[in-house]
């Protein structure tokens, strides 16, 4: 971690308090993963309904993403960070409110047909959509702020270290949430996650940002650049599609793993799978960030996609607690390699004034993947099994690998070279060695 020695004490403190806020964010968010699907099931929801409620998180993300990404560029990163952490603080108390609601059920009829409506599930969909604001805001602003202050030659290293908030939070949160649920009930778990969010709000209030927003210079009457038009550019299109396919796998894992473990009759605290994943993610991030500054991002993104495919196929074949934990370990290594390297690559491919928009657009692919994973794979599980969802997810990430190898650069030859670490990223703004 020698890169931190080059910063003055004020900047190191700023990074430290930002890191603490990130821990609160991810622990508060991930602490609900072992509890929410089970809570929704207690309301009488089917597999597809559980998937729809959980996926509403991603729909909230999609709606908020363009505005929040643009806001990070135009009004600064700290404001958007605060929006994200406030959503983390409020959402668990909304779920707590739903816990104590009486049954809200009614029947809609037209002609010979009727539809049973569960009002509590509808409310939970709205609460999940609000919760989606958290990632739409926090992740983009957090990444952009770190890249703002990182020297291009050490960008991967600093992102790797600061992104450790994800695996540490993902290790602590689910373990805590699963323990509190076993020890007491849903209400205690929800309150604990809300308190973590409040602590994060206090941390963000102390953060200082270095980025100074600048007004875009446009001719009088000229149209404002469209947020979505950037998605069609080659530097953004392929990473966004890769993240769509990985989002399908992540959405399957975050939504259905508690139900799959119970379906398979395996005696295991589900939180331990998330914790194992997080430990692996932590370890791998300590190495790949710095290495990518010297060896390039491409080979690590390829490795991350390979590991993601292997992890989903291992979940698919798992028949014991040991194999489930092994699958979580592989998935953690995959996420710890793939996500920071995509962030570093998009930092290479963007200038400061557009960084929020570029990050936001790339992450839209991840959002859409999570959004579709719940309802589509949940319906699939109703007809087949939760186990089958993981096999299908493995095929999606394998497709993502093929897409990256063939379309990551300006033509097939350069794509193969970049993805295997034998060539530069031709879309990088700064074509320094290794990028």
Choice among 256-265, 314-323, 326-335 with the minimum mean pLDDT: 256-265
Q: CA neighbours within 13 Å on the CB side: how many for 161?
A: 16
Amino acid 414: pLDDT: 92
pTM over the 0.95 mark: no
- Given a cut of 80, is residue 353 above it in pLDDT? no
The pLDDT, as a whole number, for residue 111 is 64
Q: CB within 8 A of 122, min separation 6: which ones? A: none
381-404 pLDDT per residue, tens: 777 788 888 998 999 999 999 999
**CA–CA dist 428, 143 (Å, integer):** 17
List, for residues 116-135, the tens digit of each pLDDT value: 666 788 888 999 999 988 98
Highest mean pLDDT among 146-160, 193-207, 252-266, 278-292: 193-207
What's the CA gap between 269 and 400, in Å, rounded?
31
Residue 114 has what pLDDT? 62
- For 47, 117, 121, 319, 379, the CA distances from 383, given in Å and listed in that order, are 10, 22, 22, 20, 7
Q: Could you read off the pLDDT of 29-69 as tens digits, one per residue?
A: 988 877 888 888 888 777 777 878 887 887 887 788 878 88
pLDDT confidence bin for 89, thresholds 50/70/90: very high
Q: Mean pLDDT throughout 149-157?
A: 72
Q: Can you give the pLDDT at residue 46?
A: 76
Instruction: Say how far apart CA 326 and CA 422 lie, in whole Å.
Output: 31
Tokens of 299: 């080979």
Task: Give the model confidence (pLDDT) of 202-253 as tens digits.
Answer: 999 998 887 676 655 444 444 555 556 777 788 888 898 999 999 888 888 8
Kindly indicate the confidence band of residue 430, based on its pLDDT and cuts at 50, 70 and 90: low
pLDDT in tens, 171-206: 788 778 878 887 877 888 899 999 999 999 999 999
The reported pLDDT for the residue numbered 434 is 46
Angle formed at CA 181 by CA 175 and CA 186, multiple of 5 degrees: 125
Asked whether the beta carbons of 34 and 181 are under 8 A apart, the reply is yes
d(CA 72, CA 78): 8
Q: Is pLDDT larger for residue 271 or for residue 73? A: 73
Distance, first Cα to last Cα, the chain: 21
As a whole number, mean pLDDT of residues 16-38 equals: 89
Asked whether the predicted pLDDT for residue 431 surpasses 60, the reply is no
How many beta carbons lie within 10 A of that of residue 249, not counting itself?
Answer: 30
Tokens of residue 382, six digits = 């109703």
Q: Does the pLDDT value for residue 363 go beyond 80?
A: no
Residue 7 is classified by DSSP as S
Average pLDDT of the chain is: 82
C-alpha to C-alpha distance for 337 and 148, rounded to whole angstroms: 21
Tell me which residue of 428, 163, 164 sits closest to 296, measured CA to CA: 428
**Whole-number pLDDT of residue 104:** 67
Which of the residue ranges 94-103, 133-142, 224-233, 422-431 would you say has the lowest mean pLDDT? 224-233
């Amino acid at each position: 971690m020698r890169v931190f020695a080059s910063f003055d004490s004020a900047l190191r403190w700023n990074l430290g308090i930002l890191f603490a806020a990130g821990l609160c964010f991810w622990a508060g968010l991930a602490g609900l993963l072992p509890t929410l699907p089970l809570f929704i099931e207690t309301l009488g929801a089917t597999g597809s309904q559980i998937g729809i409620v959980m996926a509403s998180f991603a729909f909230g993300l999609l709606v908020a993403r363009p505005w929040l990404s643009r806001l990070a560029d135009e009004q600064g990163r700290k404001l958007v960070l605060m929006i994200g952490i406030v959503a983390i603080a409020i959402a668990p108390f909304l779920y707590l409110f739903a816990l104590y609601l009486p049954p809200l059920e009614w029947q809609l009829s037209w002609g010979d047909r009727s539809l049973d409506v569960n009002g509590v599930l509808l409310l939970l969909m709205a609460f999940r959509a609000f919760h989606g604001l958290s990632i739409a805001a926090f992740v983009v602003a957090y990444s952009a702020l770190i890249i703002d202050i990182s020297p291009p030659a050490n960008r991967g290293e600093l992102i790797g270290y600061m992104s450790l908030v994800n695996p540490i939070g993902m290790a602590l949160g689910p373990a805590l949430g699963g323990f509190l649920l076993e020890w007491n009930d849903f209400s205690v778990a929800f309150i604990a996650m809300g308190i973590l969010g409040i602590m994060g709000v206090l941390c963000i209030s102390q953060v200082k940002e270095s980025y100074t927003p600048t007004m875009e210079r446009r001719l009088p009457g000229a149209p404002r650049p469209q947020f979505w038009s950037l998605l069609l550019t080659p530097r953004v299109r392929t990473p966004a599609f890769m993240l769509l396919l990985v989002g399908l796998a992540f959405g399957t894992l975050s939504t259905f793993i508690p139900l799959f473990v119970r379906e398979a009759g395996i005696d295991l605290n589900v939180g331990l799978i998330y914790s194992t994943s997080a430990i692996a993610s932590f370890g791998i991030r300590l190495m790949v960030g710095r290495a990518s500054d010297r060896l390039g991002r491409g080979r690590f993104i390829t490795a991350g996609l390979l590991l993601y495919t292997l992890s989903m196929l291992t979940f698919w074949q798992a028949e014991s607690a040991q194999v489930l934990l092994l699958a979580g370990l592989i998935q953690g290594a995959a996420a710890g390699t793939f996500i920071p390297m995509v962030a570093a690559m998009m930092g290479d491919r963007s200038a400061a004034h557009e960084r929020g928009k570029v990050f936001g657009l790339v992450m839209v692919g991840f959002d859409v993947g999570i959004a579709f994973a719940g309802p589509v794979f949940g319906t699939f599980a109703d007809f087949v099994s939760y186990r089958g969802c993981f096999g299908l997810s493995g095929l999606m990430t394998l497709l993502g690998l093929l897409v990256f190898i063939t379309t990551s650069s300006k033509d097939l030859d350069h794509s193969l070279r970049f993805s295997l670490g034998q060539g530069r990223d031709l879309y990088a703004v700064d074509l320094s060695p290794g990028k």
